[in-house]
Structure 1
Amino acid sequence: MKMTFRWYGEGNDSITLSQIKQIPGVSGVVWALHDVPAGEEWPMDKILEVKEQADRYNLNIDVVESVNVHEDIKLGLPTRDLYIKNYKRTIEKLAKVGVKVICYNFMPVFDWTRTDLNKEMEDGSTALFYEKAKAESIDPNELVDTIANNPDFTMPGWEPERLSRLSALFEAYKNVTEEDLWNNLKYFLEQIIPVAEANEIKMAIHPDDPPWPIFGLPRIITNKENIKRFLKLVDSPYNGITLCSGSLGANPKNDIVEMVYEFADRIPFAHIRNVKVYENGDFIETSHRTQDGSVDIAGIVKAYHDVKFTGYVRPDHGRHIWGEKCRPGYGLYDRALGIMYLWGVWDALERGEEKRHDHH
């Protein structure tokens, strides 16, 4: 298991590389060029700049999250070929600086969605929260009006430029079904995976967060059956998943431990985090500790240990604790605590194995 930490870049992140370097066992940063719009080719000089910054602290840049997929690709529009060509060129450039894994998602219009970024918990910390009834009561058309009339309006996880195009996007997706989305994803993969393979980069799709349709938009990377279907679209070791225990864990029917065992050889990258799911379907992000949420984090780490996982891992979102001012979900303190919890479980399993060998 190779431990990494998401970093938004110099001037973009409240956390510095020197702080990340001090978290025990972290060998790399998970990064992206966040100022390059989806669909554009990444400039080599900017890629090299990040590499030089990370090199100073002896941190690798093996994992990129994300190279975003342009909406025209998800919609299956004729213009998609241009954006796919840019995507291929970006893969080739990233291979030149040693990137091994590219995480991306195929969620229409919205990335991860929450209704509250700073919901207070019993201990006084705050965390990202999803109120199911509130999300379900949002009418996409009203949303478009709200945004049009309120320039400061934002929703968790949305880039401002996406908001300005929202009404057009809702219109574009009006007749797109789940099957259409599957077909458009297959088209994308058939183009991309051979290039990834040639450059020895594993593509790792991130599940939809939350793992069900929102605002009437289709979502397909949501459960075990769909992940199986996804992996067969292009059956290559370079077509893999970013197994995110928090995204999938928002649906209590998803058994993440089982998924680790089943898909082990197709998981180049894992997000390990906990969520507490309430009976009404609301959920809140908690500490990484197993008993603080609804996801069996200890069981998940054990499953990775059992399959001798050598891929990349990161603690995903964390709470906001100790008065830290940071990007929602991406503070230093709680994610560092999460890493120590994950290592604690892992090291105990390693030690148990050594002891068994000694007795034999």
Structure 2
Amino acid sequence: MRMVFRWYGRGNDTVTLEQIKQIPGVEGIVWALHDMMPGEEWPMDKIMAYKELSDAHGLHLEVVESVNVHEDIKLGLSTRDLYIDNYIRTIEKLAKVGVKTICYNFMPVFDWTRTDLYKELEDGSTALFYEKAAIDSMDPHELVRKIAVKPDLTMPGWEPERLAQLSVLFEAYKNVTEEDLWGNLQYFLERVVPAAAEHDIKMAIHPDDPPWPVFGLPRIMTGRDSIRRLLDLVDSPYNCVTLCSGSLGANPANDIAAMVREFADRIPFAHIRNVKVYENGDFVETSHRASDGSVDTVEVVRAYSDIGFTGYARPDHGRHIWDEKCRPGYGLYDRALGIMYLWGVWDAAERAKKERMNG
């Protein structure tokens, strides 16, 4: 397991590369050009700026999250080939700086959905929270006003320029079915995966967050069956999945450890985090400790050990603790604690495996 840490860039993150470097076992950053709109070709000079920064701190930048997919591609519009061509040229440039995995998603309109960015927990920390009843009764414009109004830091998937066209986007998706979305995803992958394979970069789709329809919009990456279908769309070792235990774990029916074992050779990148799911469908993000949430993170990490996982992993979202002022879900303290918890479970699992092998 190769530990990495998501970083939003100098001037756009409360966490510094100097701090990341001090977290035991972290070898690289997970990055993106967050000032680029979906569909734009990434400029080489901006890519190189990240390369120079990461090199200066002894960190690699082999994982990009995300090269966002333009809405016209998801909608299957006649303009999609222009944006796919831009995507392919971006892949070619990323290969030149050593990128090996691109995480992306295919969620319509909203990249992720929560109703509260700072829900207070019993211990006084705060975390990202999803209230099912609120989403079921809320107008999406109201959610945008609540979540994305004048953020101090960029909110990937909640770009103000795009959300300003919310009514237009919802109208465009009005007659788009799940099958339509699957067809548009296949078209995208049939164009992009061969280019990624040529440059030895794995395309790793992120599951929908949460893994069910929101505001009537279709969602297709929701569990084991959809991952199987995704991998069959283009049968290539470069068509992969970013297995996110938090996104998938919001649905208690998803057995994350079983998915790790089944899709072992198609998981280049893992997000390992925990969520506590309530009977009414609400969920809140918790510490990474297994007993604090509904995801058995111990068994998930054991599964990665069992398959001999050599891909990248990051702790994903954390709580906001010790009065840290940070981007929602992306502070330093709780993610660093999460990494040490994951390493502890990993080291124990690896030692147990070695003892079994030695009889």
User: What RMSD over aligned residues (CA atoms) do the two structures have, in Å?
Assistant: 1.7
Give the secondary structure class of the aligned counterpart of 1:299. helix
Residue 281 of structure 2 is aligned to residue 281 of structure 1: yes
The normalised TM-score by structure 1 is: 0.96
Residue 265 of structure 1 is matched in structure 2 by 265
Residue 345 of structure 2 is matched in structure 1 by 345
Q: Which amino acid aligns with 1:293?
A: G
The 8 Å contact of residues 115 and 129 in structure 2, kept in 1 or not, is answered as yes
Give the C-alpha shift of residue 163 in structure 1. 1.6
Residue 73 of structure 1 is matched in structure 2 by 73
Give the C-alpha shift of residue 289 in structure 1. 0.2
Residue 215 of structure 2 is aligned to residue 215 of structure 1: yes
The 3 A distance-change label for structure 1 pair 266 and 230 is same
The 3 A distance-change label for structure 1 pair 268 and 151 is closer
The 8 Å contact of residues 101 and 268 in structure 2, kept in 1 or not, is answered as yes
Residue 54 of structure 2 is matched in structure 1 by 54
Residue 15 of structure 1 is matched in structure 2 by 15
1:1-360 correspondence to structure 2 within 5 Å: 1-140=1-140, 143=142, 152=149, 158-358=158-358, 360=359
Give the C-alpha shift of residue 357 in structure 1. 4.7
Give the C-alpha shift of residue 160 in structure 1. 1.2
C-alpha separation in 1, matches of 2:313 and 2:341: 13
Deviation string, structure 1 residues 19-46 (Cα, Å, up to 9, x no partner): 0000000000000000011100000000
C-alpha separation in 2, matches of 1:268 and 1:351: 23
Give the secondary structure class of the aligned counterpart of 1:128. strand
Please list every run of at least 4 consecutive aligned residues from structure 1 whose deviation after the TM superposition is greater than 6 angstroms: 153-156
Give the C-alpha shift of residue 217 in structure 1. 0.3
Give the secondary structure class of the aligned counterpart of 2:263. helix
C-alpha separation in 2, matches of 1:194 and 1:356: 41
Give the C-alpha shift of residue 139 in structure 1. 3.1
- Gap regions ≥5 residues in structure 1: none
Give the C-alpha shift of residue 151 in structure 1. 9.9
Give the C-alpha shift of residue 171 in structure 1. 0.7
Q: Which amino acid aligns with 2:303?
A: A
Give the C-alpha shift of residue 72 in structure 1. 0.2
Deviation string, structure 1 residues 138-193 (Cα, Å, up to 9, x no partner): 234x649x86xx99478975221122111110110011000000000000000000
Q: Which amino acid aligns with 2:106?
A: F
The 3 A distance-change label for structure 1 pair 3 and 153 is closer
Percentage identity across paired residues of the two chains = 74
The normalised TM-score by structure 2 is: 0.96
The 8 Å contact of residues 208 and 221 in structure 2, kept in 1 or not, is answered as yes
Give the secondary structure class of the aligned counterpart of 1:342. helix
Give the C-alpha shift of residue 350 in structure 1. 1.8
Moved more, 74-83 or 342-351: 342-351
C-alpha separation in 2, matches of 1:324 and 1:29: 21
The 8 Å contact of residues 39 and 84 in structure 2, kept in 1 or not, is answered as yes
The 8 Å contact of residues 92 and 199 in structure 2, kept in 1 or not, is answered as yes
Give the secondary structure class of the aligned counterpart of 1:93. helix
Give the secondary structure class of the aligned counterpart of 1:351. helix
The 8 Å contact of residues 148 and 160 in structure 2, kept in 1 or not, is answered as no
Deviation string, structure 1 residues 270-294 (Cα, Å, up to 9, x no partner): 0000000000000000000000000
The 3 A distance-change label for structure 1 pair 86 and 253 is same
Q: Which amino acid aligns with 1:222?
A: T
Give the C-alpha shift of residue 356 in structure 1. 3.9
Give the secondary structure class of the aligned counterpart of 1:62. strand
C-alpha separation in 2, matches of 1:39 and 1:69: 6
Give the secondary structure class of the aligned counterpart of 2:348. helix
C-alpha separation in 2, matches of 1:258 and 1:355: 23
C-alpha separation in 2, matches of 1:252 and 1:175: 30
Give the C-alpha shift of residue 351 in structure 1. 2.0
C-alpha separation in 2, matches of 1:268 and 1:281: 30
